[in-house]
Structure 1
Amino acid sequence: DVSRWGRFQDLDLSAQFSAQCKKHRKQVIYTSIGKPREDDPLYPVYVQFERFRAAQYSRELSDKVWRGCVKIVEQGYWAGGPPPYATQRLLLDEKREPLQKLNPGQRKGIQNQRVTLVEGDPAQVATVQRIFHEFVEDGHSEYKIAEGLNKDGVVSPGGRRWGAGSVLSRIRNETYLGTLLYNKTSKKLKTPMVHNPVEKWIRTPEAFEGIISDVLFARAQEILEERRRRYDPDRMLIQLQSLYKQFGMARSSLTRVQEEMLPASSYARQFGSWDQAFQQLHKEHLQRAKELVHERLCKQIPDVLAYSDFFVLDRKLSVAIQPAVPIPSGYTAYWPIEPDSRNVIDITLGVLLSDPTELEILGYVVLPRGMAGSEAWRISSNSVRTELFGRTDLAFLKSFL
């Protein structure tokens, strides 16, 4: 039947299997069309049309199944699949009366029967309640909660040790509130799974009796939302700017005296390093400096090709331009330069700016790929590296060409 190979949404995949059979000298005969005739030039058109019909039928059937599952969830029933941790499926008759609890692998046998969720293993229910109480009332982090569960020998949902991600999944799961969720992810017709936005989720609140109270669950979500706002990149930069204005410097150790400010390690995880976080405060300023250097390059070298984030000079030398504003640190200041370790980059050109408020270039630092390494550099005015790799203008680039 054509539909055996015709349910692919990409019709070329259907033809691929037929071509492989012909390549190995095996004739393909479709029962609905018959043997191919050499004198019929429209036979390939018939086959392709049947493949299209089969793909269309699969799409329509998939949409009908999805709509049916959505309707079931909206009515307050479980649409299918394994139940979440600490819950169990309960079989109901057409009058919504309980019949029996379903074990893993068991399914309903009559069409008008429905399935809902109830409390599962008491030990698992106690584990979920313990997670919420420790997170909300005791103020423990997900890491500390996972450590305590592992220490007590509690098995995680996957049968392994608990991790921070597993704990957070329990805290964010609205199922423990008695809410049925559907369409959080999609994987239709063997396509890659995608995570749907929150507005496309299908929610049915109070579909069954939850194992966590509304107040406790809401408090846990408030803590997560406050944490999300606290780790917002824009908010972190505002606090860094405030720190800089207050002390006139940007030492990472100063975060310890600011109660509401995140530690320097959080800035490193978010922006790559503490120094790069400070550079982000002057992102527009750095972009203008990069454009100015580009203009100066074009005056020195006629053939300058611009790629995504670097330039090629005279089709021979690739240069990554990295402007940097000075970071005041007590009585001194330094410019952070991170060598570009990509094989496509020959030279990282550090551009030393005078002040975050003025677009004045003091000089350049030339870092060849083979000599600079991958560690970040802190260039100061009296540094030996400044004497070795520093330049006052761009005329030196001609010697590399």
Structure 2
Amino acid sequence: MDWFNSGKSFKYRAVAYYRHSAQDRQENSVEIQQDQVRQFARDHDIEIIREFIDRGKSGLSTEGRDGFNEMIHDYVERGQEAFEIVLVLDVSRWGRFQDTDLSAYYKGHCAMHGKQVVYTSLGFGEQDNLMFSLRLDIERFQAANYSRELSTKVFKGCAKIAEQGFRAGGMPPYGFHRLLLDEQRKPVQVLERGQRKSIQNQRVTLTPGDPDEIAVIERIFKEFVKWESTPKQIAFSLNKQRIPSPGGCQWSPSSVMAVLRNELYAGTMVYNKTTQRLKSPSHKNPMDEWIRTENAFPAIVEHKLFDRAQEILFEAEEERRVKYSAEDMLDRLRRVYEQYGTVRASLVAAEKEMVSVATYAKRFGTIGGAYQHLFEEVIDSRRAEVTQTIKQLVHETEEYGDFIVLRNYVSVRIQPVIPFPLGYEEEWTFMPEVRPEIDITLGVPLSNGGKYDVLGYLFFPRIMAGGRRIRVSANTADRIELHAYSLKQAMEDLIGLEVTA
């Protein structure tokens, strides 16, 4: 920097960092920061060898702060030039990190590389001085809290504007233009992309925009309500005519649904559907937190037509909710089992009213897992019977939720399984437990044919079998017994002690 190259020798060499965001007041401008930091450098015999600047950048994180990141990577870490100090006007210019430990982290990171961060508003200070450290922590909290308070104020202001029926910000949706209103709420002009209001008391509302886009919106509602077309069919017809979607791409069922659900097309201003503040992830808000103002601007779609579309969507959603509920899915699967005496993926796929095999797998793990749920009452009954028998054999048995502990020595989860029909054979599929509090899964294969007798007992230690599906198949009960024990003998072998006869 030519301004300080006087040829004299200095006591210290430093780099300086300046940051100014769009929300900062004028007194925090880069030029004012430079004046104060340079004066501090002159007063303390410091030569500034390089200045790094981030204009219009938020201090909530280091993302997008090219000046800060260059300073850290090239000068602090890699030592591109020799220096001892990093000069910053104050803690807020360093960053308004919501986690104040991050502010301390970057300062400590510089210290690890032999560079001292000096906030010129605080001076050098004594690093081991309690009061200086406390003041630094307070400054970090205040820097972070300023952003939180500003965010709250901005939200309240936007919410008030939305309650009055005006646009709080953002680009206009498909089919609309932004209309600027003066202080008397009279139209001034349609705002083009990138244009903003210039007077604080002016307001922005929505007005019907491109006639071609309006025609597409009206067509979507009419086809959906009057012609009873599905969103998929509507998207297909629009794409067939090469009509671009709001994003300029092809229409999809989801983009058609977005139009059908958008209350703006009925003239209702909606705000606060989602929340995203201070670099946090965006999330959807519950409907009772939405800010809605009806008849805020001219509607594109008649209220009667829009309301009927919402009724159809609600009815379809209810039908879908019932169809994909666990109870309904199991009822449908039970009908297939009762009709064919078995359950196979091909049978499920062939039935028109069934949901897909993949949906069963997503809900129940596998189609076999869904099949087991058809016999929940039987499985729960057999589990209770086995548990009671074990309690009679091993008196020191305690129940803990869905497993038992024998003599404070070993924990056991009892897993009765109904055989899955596979042509002329049957298969039992066990899922040994992976939870660390359960040592052994006790597999209990049951017979079918309406009796559901216990055929034997299989032990699956967690450390050997946990997390793997184990399939056992047999033509007769005799073969299954070759892999099992009587319950009394199994308990004796398991706990290493004689059990009660």
The answer, yes or no, to whether TM exceeds 0.5 is yes
| In 2, Cα distance between equivalents of 1:35 and 1:86 | 58
| In 2, Cα distance between equivalents of 1:3 and 1:357 | 74
CA shift for structure 1 position 288 = 6.2
CA shift for structure 1 position 333 = 9.6
| In 2, Cα distance between equivalents of 1:167 and 1:365 | 54
TM-score, length basis structure 1: 0.76
Tell whether the 8 Å contact from 2:267 to 2:294 is kept in structure 1 after alignment: yes
| In 1, Cα distance between equivalents of 2:122 and 2:368 | 70
> Which residue does the alignment assign to 1:142?
231
Q: State the SS of the aligned residue for 1:91.
A: strand
1:362 aligns with 2:452: no
| 2:169 alignment partner AA | G
| Superposition map of 1:283-362 within 5 A | 283=376, 286=379, 323-325=416-418, 337=429, 351-354=444-447, 360-362=453-455
- The change in CA–CA distance for 1:103 and 1:295 in structure 2 (over 3 A counts) is farther
CA shift for structure 1 position 396 = 8.4
> Which residue does the alignment assign to 2:143?
54
Tell whether the 8 Å contact from 2:417 to 2:430 is kept in structure 1 after alignment: no
| 2:174 alignment partner AA | Y
| In 1, Cα distance between equivalents of 2:253 and 2:432 | 34
TM-score, length basis structure 2: 0.62
| 1:59 alignment partner AA | R
Q: State the SS of the aligned residue for 1:44.
A: helix
Tell whether the 8 Å contact from 1:321 to 1:348 is kept in structure 2 after alignment: yes
| In 1, Cα distance between equivalents of 2:213 and 2:468 | 48
Tell whether the 8 Å contact from 2:403 to 2:412 is kept in structure 1 after alignment: yes
**Match for residue 152 of structure 1 among 231, 241, 265:** 241
| Aligned pairs, number | 394
1:128 aligns with 2:217: yes
| In 2, Cα distance between equivalents of 1:339 and 1:198 | 40
| 1:134 alignment partner AA | E
| In 1, Cα distance between equivalents of 2:212 and 2:440 | 61
List alignment gaps of at least 5 residues for structure 2. Answer: 1-89, 495-501
| 2:445 alignment partner AA | L
**Match for residue 310 of structure 2 among 211, 216, 221:** 221
- 1:354-393 deviation digits (Å, cap 9, x = unpaired): 569988533467899999x99997x876389x76996465
| Superposition map of 1:387-398 within 5 A | 391=484
List alignment gaps of at least 5 residues for structure 1. Answer: none
- The change in CA–CA distance for 1:356 and 1:131 in structure 2 (over 3 A counts) is farther
> Which residue does the alignment assign to 2:36?
none
Q: State the SS of the aligned residue for 2:454.
A: strand
- The change in CA–CA distance for 1:247 and 1:291 in structure 2 (over 3 A counts) is closer
Q: State the SS of the aligned residue for 2:107.
A: helix
| 1:337 alignment partner AA | T
Tell whether the 8 Å contact from 1:89 to 1:101 is kept in structure 2 after alignment: yes
1:237 aligns with 2:330: no
CA shift for structure 1 position 80 = 0.1
| In 2, Cα distance between equivalents of 1:65 and 1:11 | 22
1:181 aligns with 2:270: yes
| In 2, Cα distance between equivalents of 1:243 and 1:45 | 66
Higher relative contact order (CA 8 A, sep 6+): 1
> Which residue does the alignment assign to 1:164?
253
| Superposition map of 1:249-268 within 5 A | 249=339, 262-263=354-355, 265=357, 267=360
Aligned residues: CA RMSD: 4.9
> Which residue does the alignment assign to 2:75?
none
- 1:113-164 deviation digits (Å, cap 9, x = unpaired): 1101112222222222222222222223222222222222122222222222
> Which residue does the alignment assign to 1:79?
168
CA shift for structure 1 position 293 = 6.6
